[in-house]
Structure formats: structure tokens, C-alpha cells
């Protein structure tokens, strides 16, 4: 499945809310900055719909957020905004302003509380993630730095808020309604989440089950995510964010994979692939069916069947002169197939 941006982590702590589901502009913004930074480091990942228009309107906003952290020797996206918003009650605010205004105080408060990133969902210590969170919190304890980051985030939200106000909020409210209806029907958080989202994957699903058993799950449908999202625990509350387009992304992925599989199938037989290789190798000699059959050591009808499948896949073309048929490679089609296969498997 295409996947734009996924993050997961866990912090220990105290009592949290019951199972809730509501829009969260604060988490939308935190996700947007996380996605933009991750996009810089993983440019082949899935492109969310808003990224192109944003970077056309403000080409430097993503790199400016990255540069802010890089100036403190911190590379790539971090989870500090998610942790601070979750711990101190900003998840379900109506807009991000209060969170951005109080960002310097939140970092100081977090440091005073003395609680830090603990274990990953697998239960193993993650020293690198812990050190990264601590360092980012230290940076934001400096009021000047926290205000500088808040200004960058306001700049990002200034673009995103128009779409959020016009389309996003209503879409998320509808997703909340659908989640609540399914949760009321099944009493199971996992069953109420999209079927083809990574929140159903076992490494996160078990954390959700464990949290739901004690009624400590906060669900956040994300308009700004496609199939990405988040799954993390702060203060014994499991936060689950899922992209509203996850089902559509899955359907598009399945359709694309089906097309690629059909074309790849044309290469699945060794003799057929050898025939294609010989057509390419001896392009200047314009091989016929008989030539290929002799080279491979099989009958002409067998080679004709192979070539028919290669033609159906668009990988070879035929030129007829009299009663002779000469085959040639379609290199652009071969390149397109290899490109599509790479795009499907190596995101």
C-alpha cells in the first residue's frame, strides 16, 4: 500500500481519557510538519494532495522547518510536537493557536515533569528516539527558539487552514460520525478504524487492544494524511491518527499492482524472457519466429505463443514483410514496466 507518513512511539505516564474521536487541527498541523520533513528525506514516498499546492505557494516552508532543526544538529522529523500536544491537552483544540502560543512554556513544563520518551510499541528501548526527543525539547525550552518554530508553523497553517476550513473539518466530522457509529455497533476500536490502514497491523493493533481494554484511546481522523497517520502512547493514552483517504489509496494501489502484475507475468517464463532478450540482443538482425525457435531450442508454435504474450504486454512489436514477421523490442515499454515495478515495491 502507498504510504505517505507513519510514526509510532510510546511514553509512560498517568490516567487518560475514555475512547474518544474528534477533529484535531493541532494534530493535523503536527502531522503536516512531520510529513514535510520526512518528504525531504524520503522523496519517493506517497505524495499527499496538499503538498504540491503548498510548495508552489511557499516553496521554502518545508526546507525552512528542516533548517530550523538542522541548525541544532537535529535531522529529519521528530515527535516533540505530538508529545507536547498530547500530554498537555491540546489534541482536541479547535485551532492550533493556543498550542503555538504556549509552546515555550510547554517545553519547560515537560522538562520539569521529568517524564520522557520510554519504549517503542514493541517494548524495546529506543535510545536514539529518546535522545532526539530530549534534544528537541531542550531546544524549545529557549523561548526565542520556540517562538521561531511557532512562527514557521503559523506560516504552514496559514496555507493549510483555508482547505481545512472549507473542506477538511467537514470531512473529518463525517469520519468521526462513521467511527462513532461503528464503535457503538461493535464496541471495538479496531473494527471502527478503516480496514486497509496500518492501524490494523499487528504491531500497533495490540497496543490499541490493550488501551481499549482500559478505555484509554484517543482517535484522530486526519484530513491532511492519505494512508499515513500515527500511533503512539503518551501518559497511558493510546493516540491513533488515520488518513481519511486510506481506503481510496488502497484501491488505487491494488488497481496499479494488478496492471503491473499483468505485464510482469509476460516475463515469468524463462524461455519467454530469453526470447525477449534475444530480440533485444540481435535487434539489427531482425529475428523471426524461426530464428528464435532455433536459438532457444523449442518449436516455432511455442515461440509464437511467447511472442504473442510479449506483444499483448506491449514489450515487443512486429513488422510483417510478405510471409515473414520480424520482431523488435519496445524499449520504452520495458523501461515503463521496470519503473512501475520499482515505484510499486521500493517506496
Q: What is the pLDDT of residue 111?
A: 86
Report how far residue 131's alpha carbon sits from residue 147's, in angstroms, rounded to the nearest whole number.
Answer: 22
Quick check: is 258 in a domain? Answer: no
Q: What integer pLDDT is reported at residue 343 of this predicted model?
A: 82
In a domain, 136, yes or no: yes
Say whether both 239 and 275 belong to one domain. Answer: no
21 DSSP β-pair partners: 219
pLDDT of residue 155: 96
Predicted pLDDT at 138: 94
Beta bridge partners of 203: none
Tell whether 102 is covered by a domain. Answer: yes
Q: What span, in angstroms and rounded, lies between the C-alpha atoms of 189 and 213? A: 10
Distance from C-alpha of 101 to C-alpha of 79, rounded to nearest angstrom: 18
Do 130 and 64 lie in one domain? The reply is: yes
Distance CA 53, CA 320 (A): 49
Contact 25, 96 (CB under 8 A): yes
Burial of 124 (0-12, 13-18, 19+ CB in 10 A): exposed
The predicted structure's pLDDT at residue 142: 95
Same domain? For 102 and 245 the reply is yes
pLDDT for position 26: 98
Q: Name the phi and psi angles at 315, rounded to 5.
A: -90, -20
Residue 261 within any structural domain of the chain: no
Instruction: Report mean pLDDT in 10-residue bins for the chain, 347 residues.
Output: 57 60 97 91 76 92 93 91 94 96 94 59 59 92 96 96 96 96 93 87 85 85 91 88 82 82 90 94 88 93 94 92 88 93 81
Any idea what the CATH number is for the domain that residue 294 is in? 1.10.10.10
One domain, residues 285 and 164: no
Domain boundary among 183, 218, 250: 250
pLDDT tens for each residue of 232-256: 888 888 999 999 888 777 777 778 8
Whether 212 and 271 map to the same domain: the answer is no
pLDDT of residue 204: 85
Question: Are residues 172 and 215 both part of a single domain?
Answer: yes
Are residues 58 and 172 both part of a single domain? yes
Residue 239 sits in which domain range? 6-250
Please give the tally of structural domains in the chain: 2
Q: Are 312 and 340 in contact (CB under 8 A)?
A: no
Asked if the structure places residue 49 within a domain, the reply is: yes
Same domain, 159 and 298: no
CA atoms of 226 and 200, how far apart (whole Å): 15
Q: Clarify whether residues 229 and 276 are in a common domain.
A: no
Give residues with Cβ within 8 angstroms of 313, minimum separation 6: 262, 263, 265, 266, 333, 337
Last residue of a domain, one of 250, 277, 310: 250
Q: Is residue 195 part of a domain?
A: yes
Residue-wise pLDDT for 96-108, tens only, equals 999 999 999 999 9
Q: CA-CA distance, 97 to 42, in Å (whole number)? A: 29
Mark whether 222 and 341 lie in a shared domain. no
Q: In this structure, what C-alpha cell is assigned to residue 35? A: 510529513
Confidence (pLDDT) at 35: 93
Residue 69 included in any domain:
yes
pLDDT, position 216: 85
Q: End of a domain among 250, 276, 293?
A: 250
Residue 256 lies in a domain: no
227, 281: one domain? no
Q: Please tell me whether residues 167 and 235 are part of one structural domain.
A: yes
Amino acid at each position: 500500500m502507498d504510504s505517505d507518513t507513519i510514526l509510532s512511539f510510546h511514553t509512560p505516564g498517568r490516567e487518560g481519557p475514555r475512547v474518544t474521536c474528534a477533529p484535531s487541527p493541532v494534530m493535523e498541523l503536527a502531522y503536516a510538519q512531520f510529513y514535510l520533513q520526512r518528504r525531504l528525506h524520503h522523496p519517493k514516498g506517497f505524495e499527499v494532495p496538499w503538498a504540491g499546492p503548498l510548495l508552489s505557494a511557499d516553496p521554502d516552508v518545508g526546507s525552512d522547518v528542516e533548517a530550523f532543526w538542522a541548525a541544532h544538529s537535529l535531522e529529519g522529523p521528530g515527535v516533540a510536537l505530538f508529545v507536547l500536544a498530547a500530554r498537555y491537552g491540546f489534541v482536541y483544540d479547535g485551532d492550533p493557536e493556543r498550542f503555538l502560543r504556549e509552546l515555550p512554556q510547554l517545553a519547560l513544563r515537560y522538562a520539569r515533569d521529568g517524564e520522557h520518551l520510554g519504549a517503542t510499541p514493541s517494548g524495546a528501548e529506543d535510545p536514539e528516539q529518546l535522545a532526539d526527543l530530549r534534544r528537541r525539547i531542550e531546544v524549545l525550552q529557549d523561548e526565542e527558539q520556540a517562538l521561531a518554530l511557532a512562527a514557521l508553523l503559523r506560516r504552514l497553517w496559514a496555507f493549510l487552514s483555508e482547505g481545512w476550513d472549507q473542506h477538511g473539518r467537514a470531512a473529518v466530522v463525517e469520519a468521526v460520525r462513521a467511527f462513532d457509529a461503528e464503535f457503538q455497533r461493535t464496541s471495538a476500536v479496531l473494527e471502527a478504524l478503516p480496514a486497509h490502514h496500518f492501524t490494523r497491523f499487528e504491531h500497533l493493533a495490540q497496543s490499541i487492544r490493550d488501551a481499549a481494554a482500559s478505555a484509554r484511546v484517543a482517535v484522530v481522523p486526519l484530513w491532511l494524511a492519505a494512508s499515513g497517520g500515527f500511533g503512539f502512547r503518551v501518559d497511558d493514552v493510546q493516540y491513533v491518527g488515520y488518513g481519511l483517504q486510506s481506503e481510496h489509496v488502497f484501491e488505487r494501489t491494488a488497481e496499479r499492482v494488478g496492471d503491473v502484475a499483468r505485464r510482469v507475468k509476460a516475463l515469468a517464463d524463462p524461455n519467454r524472457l530469453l526470447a525477449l532478450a534475444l530480440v533485444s540482443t540481435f535487434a539489427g538482425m531482425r529475428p523471426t519466429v524461426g530464428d528464435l525457435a532455433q536459438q532457444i531450442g523449442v518449436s516455432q508454435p511455442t515461440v509464437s505463443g511467447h511472442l504473442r504474450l510479449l506483444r499483448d504486454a506491449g514489450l515487443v512489436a512486429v513488422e510483417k514483410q510478405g510471409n515473414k514477421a520480424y520482431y523488435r523490442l519496445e524499449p520504452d515499454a520495458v523501461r515503463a514496466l521496470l519503473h512501475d515495478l520499482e515505484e510499486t515495491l521500493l517506496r
